[in-house]
Amino acid sequence: MNIQEVKNQIGLEVENSEEVIKKYSRDASIFEVRPEAVLFPKNTSEVQNLVKWVSEKKQFEKKLSLTARSAGTDMSGGPLSESLVVDFTKYFNKIGKIETEESISEVRGESLKTQGMVVVDPGVYYRDFEKATLEKNLLLPCYTASKLLNTVGGMAGNNSAGEKTLAYGQTKDWVEELEVVLSDGSTAIIKSLTEGELEKKIKLANLEGKIYREVFHLVKENRVLIEKCKPTTSKNSAGYYLWEVWDENKRRFNLQKLIVGSQGTLAFVTKIKYRLITPRPKNRMVAIFLNDLSILGKLVTKVLEFKPETLESYDDHTFSLAMRFLPEMIKKMSRDAGSAFGGLVKLFKLGVQFLPEVLLTLTGGVPKLVVIAEFTGFSDQEVLEQVKKCEAAVKSEFKVKTHITASAEESEKYWTIRRESFSLLRQHSSGLSTAPFVDDIVVHPLDLPEFLPRLNAIFKKYPSLVYTIAGHAGDANFHIIPLMDLTKKDQRDIIPKLSEEVYSLVVEYKGSITAEHNDGIVRTPFLRQQFGEEMVGLFEKVKNIFDPKNIFNPGKKVGGSWAWAMEHIKRN
């Protein structure tokens, strides 16, 4: 590719130095894919010009394509490309006016009142976005565990979710409106439409009109197949969300449900309008220690009756790591103590807080699973009453050990174990790196007592793997990230074998191969395993309707090859 021609023809900022190419060759996945160049558009007009230029050149350069990228925290290889990467963080980083505005959202089948709206660029880091919204006492509640690193555009691209998803759903539930650039360089505003508004869109004599006509026809003609293949798990980010485009009962049509979670394969998003809530400031947590996994499904169901905001878990591997690296974990929690004396005081207090876990280990051994349920509200009394009711019901029915936290600071202890144990293990494992490839499976809570032992049995076939299982117990969504030496062929060869075995088990339990991390390079080849040939054929038709020249992020969501993926696993 003639990079000088790219610079001359489209007149926007282009970089192709070795330093830049190396940086953009990786994300948080197991892959390394070298792009030709990285482009930094300053505004929507430049994005339009870029897309038009690529559309015109595509007939002469078949491999020419555009892949959107923000923070590069994706664990699936979604923003990696052999052609042109388009970075949105450098210039698309403005936050619009945060409006206080009440509306009603449909989240997980229930009506939920929201209190704010804001229009934001896709390249805005969530940490900056949250700081701005919290100044207005508002929050986007679908934030991820990597919220200090990721952008709001990446969240929309992946249909991300996190610890509050149990109460507040995925990113798709919080998008009010999108501004997009389509594959011919035209722009469109995408939002939920009434049947009358849809009829007007269908009559448009342009690409936008064609998309509305053909997608509407597709979902109407294939509604039986789409409904049959609709995931029944509480979360999913696999495939295109065809089952939510047309609401037959409300007679509403919403293309956002395809674009959110599409990993930039259908259009480029240049602005996002998000709905916001007022966060509940008070919280208490009950920790539940399980030695018998057979009760897990019923226990989760029982806890859900009391409507916790989060219901998380981590396994015995994670708990053991926390105890093994306890001094470092306590130091990590006390970093912001201020003076040296203040630091010592906080270290002592934190050490005392971990005594119940130390004693539990000494007297009863390491629990097979720790479940943590966090309750929130607008008063301490309200929250304490709810958490005590939950604890009493759980102890009465299941005879398990529990602990109610006394403060938000003590609750943070459990979050630190959940979030930091694996990071500490990685730091102490020379020559090994994180290898996310079955990192986001989800099934149904009632199936967990059968599912988890069978999952562990699969991993026992690979004794060289060091791994932990942690995740969102309320959704039965688990993150498994082994440590591996990817320089060794025998280690790399494990990846397709283990993926096939794990995903076969997930599909057997009518789960999803990805709840919130999306398909990317690593899971696109397995979509047929989850959805079947016919449904993947519909995904291919959706891609062709939006992007007939295959300009946007090829090989993700549709058209992925596992042989190609294996060739691009990073070697160091």
What is residue 426's predicted lDDT score, i.e. its pLDDT? Answer: 66
Indicate the domain borders of the chain.
3-87, 99-276, 282-428
What is residue 362's predicted lDDT score, i.e. its pLDDT? Answer: 53
Class of domain 282-428: alpha beta
- Let me know the angle formed at the C-alpha of 380 by 393 and 407, rounded to the nearest 5 degrees: 85
Amino acid letter for position 325: F
Give the contacts of 278 (CB within 8 A, at least 6 positions apart): 115, 116, 137, 138, 139
Please state which CATH number belongs to domain 99-276. Answer: 3.30.465.10
The residue among 435, 436, 458, 562 whose CA lies nearest residue 509 is 458
Q: Would you state the structure tokens that stand for residue 293, as one six-digit string?
A: 């996994």
- Let me know the angle formed at the C-alpha of 447 by 525 and 477, rounded to the nearest 5 degrees: 55
What is residue 50's predicted lDDT score, i.e. its pLDDT? Answer: 95
Band (pLDDT 50/70/90 cuts) for residue 341 is very low
pTM (predicted TM-score)? 0.92
pLDDT digits (tens, 9 = 90+) for 57-74: 999 999 999 999 999 999
Give the contacts of 7 (CB within 8 A, at least 6 positions apart): 14
Does residue 187 contact residue 122 with C-beta atoms inside 8 Å?
Answer: no
pLDDT digits (tens, 9 = 90+) for 354-398: 656 665 655 557 788 899 999 999 999 999 999 999 999 999 999
What is residue 535's predicted lDDT score, i.e. its pLDDT? Answer: 98
pLDDT digits (tens, 9 = 90+) for 107-128: 777 778 889 999 999 999 999 9
Q: Which residues of 229-255 are buried (b: 16+ CB within 10 A; e: fewer)?
A: bebebbbbbbbbbbbbbbeeeeeebbb
pLDDT digits (tens, 9 = 90+) for 402-433: 999 988 778 888 887 777 766 666 677 777 88
CATH code 3.10.180.10 for 3-87: no
The rounded distance, in Å, linking the Cα atoms of 294 and 449 is 5
What is residue 91's predicted lDDT score, i.e. its pLDDT? Answer: 98
Q: Mean pLDDT of all residues in the chain?
A: 91
DSSP 8-state class, residue 279: P
